[in-house]
Amino acid sequence: MKSLKNNNKLTRRNFIKKSLFGTGVLINTGKYFQVKEKNIVSKDVEMKYRILGKSGLKVSEIGLGRLEMQGENVLDYALDRGINYIDTPHEYIQGEEDRMLRIKKRRDKVVIASLLVTSHTSTKQETMKLIENILKRMQTDYVDIAIIYNVGSVIRKYGITQHIERLKNENVIEAINQAKKEGKVRALGISSHGRDFMDYMNYAIDSGHFDMLMLKYNFMSFPDEKELLRKAKQNNVGSVAIKVVGGANDQKIKGYEKSRTPEFRRAAIKWVLSNPDITNLVIRMPTFEEVDNCIRALDEKYGYNDRILLEKYASSVKPYYCRWCSTCTQACPYGVSIPDIQRYLMYFTNFEYKKEAVEKYADLLPEQKANYCSDCSAPCENKCPNNIHIKEILTEAHEILSVKTV
């Protein structure tokens, strides 16, 4: 890896080191929930709700993501504050039984969205079994939204190698329609943040089968995503934003040292919800402080200070934050899955989903991994519209994510 002295580039590792030791920019690698702001509680702020498209579901503007709580009463506290949209993963999370029992006590007031892992070859019977397994695991008679998971990514352990064909699988649609008639599912959705996700989302809208979209949407999004959201609303399809904090590189930028992290997260939330075409967003809120901070954003208007804060953040992470436009992949001579690998490294370092990140990297096809990046001339970097240090990042990712166990 080239040194800062030789090429005047601020490498990712140097960036983190300098951030931690006094340059005025602090990247937080997964610990940002420990940052607190005094007097953050605003219990008089009322939750606001929007209708999730043709599903008719009334959902809180802020929803819970992943259900990872740092305290046994945080979930109850969030629900008491009016949050009713809960995004649940497709795989078991430690302590899930207790959380589902808490939800079960107020099931009629909670909207549960669960991920459905189907492939282009799934039969109707297989899909119905998946739904039954979700209900059993979630300890509920029905899920409000079944979301076809991560369209656009290859997930070999589930036999998922195709993309838009997953959405065109009539067996899955028939199973969902039957589950709706039986009262086991109320709405169908799609999630995607891989390459060509705009194609998948547009197909979902045009097909008429889908009630909602779950997509990456934040203050560093492309204009096309706003057009997609407008089209979705015009067709009465709901939309749920994920990845709203742009990689969770929460920082302290010079001039914003005091209580910087809570302010940044509120600004990011306000930016998303300022778009009337979005239905709601999901975000991790593992602590009481985070619940209060996120809800407080509903009582504040997105303004000048928020814009400056987000612009400073975007400028700081520009050399490292992948927008997933996939322009780079067209220039790669090996077929490396560049945006996915950058995302997995983000999971490992910023969110501390180490086991998940390693497993996802291991599941890539051999030619999709960054085996040859260290010796490559990196034509991908010349194509990247944001001048991301792709070679450096992927070389580091391969080194970190190739471990056998975590």
Domain at 308, CATH number: 3.20.20.100
Q: Select from 8, 26, 280, 46 the least CA-distant residue to 144.
A: 280
**Rounded distance between C-alpha atoms, residue 225 and residue 198, angstroms:** 8
Burial 221-236 (b: 16+ CB within 10 A, else e): beeebeebbebbbeee
Q: Do 14 and 89 belong together in one domain?
A: no
- 151 within 8 A of 197, measured Cβ to Cβ: yes
pLDDT tens, 152-198?
876 776 677 778 999 999 999 999 999 999 999 999 999 987 668 89
pLDDT tens, 103-147?
888 999 999 999 999 999 999 999 999 999 999 988 999 999 999
Residue-level pLDDT at 190:
96
Between strands 58-60 and 49-51, the pairing is antiparallel
C-alpha 154: how far from chain center: 17
Q: What is the mean pLDDT of the chain?
A: 83
Boundary (domain end) residue, out of 293, 314, 335: 314
Boundary (domain end) residue, out of 251, 286, 314: 314
205 phi, psi to nearest 5 deg: -65, -50
Residue-level pLDDT at 19:
38
**Rounded distance between C-alpha atoms, residue 25 and residue 92, angstroms:** 36
State mean pLDDT over 274-285: 96
**Rounded distance between C-alpha atoms, residue 386 and residue 405, angstroms:** 33
**Rounded distance between C-alpha atoms, residue 85 and residue 122, angstroms:** 28
> Is residue 244's pLDDT more than 90?
yes
Work out the pLDDT band at 34, boundaries 50, 70, 90: very low
Is residue 59 one of the residues assigned to a domain?
yes
Q: Do 145 and 17 belong together in one domain?
A: no
State mean pLDDT over 65-86: 86
Is residue 42 one of the residues assigned to a domain?
no
Residue 117 gets the label, from left (phi > 0), alpha (psi -120 to 50) or beta, of beta
Q: What domain count does the chain have?
A: 2
> What domain range is 276 assigned to?
49-314
Between strands 185-192 and 143-148, the pairing is parallel
Is residue 99 one of the residues assigned to a domain?
yes
Q: Do 268 and 307 belong together in one domain?
A: yes
Q: Do 157 and 284 belong together in one domain?
A: yes
Q: Do 294 and 397 belong together in one domain?
A: no
pTM higher than 0.85, yes or no? Answer: no
Q: Do 135 and 62 belong together in one domain?
A: yes
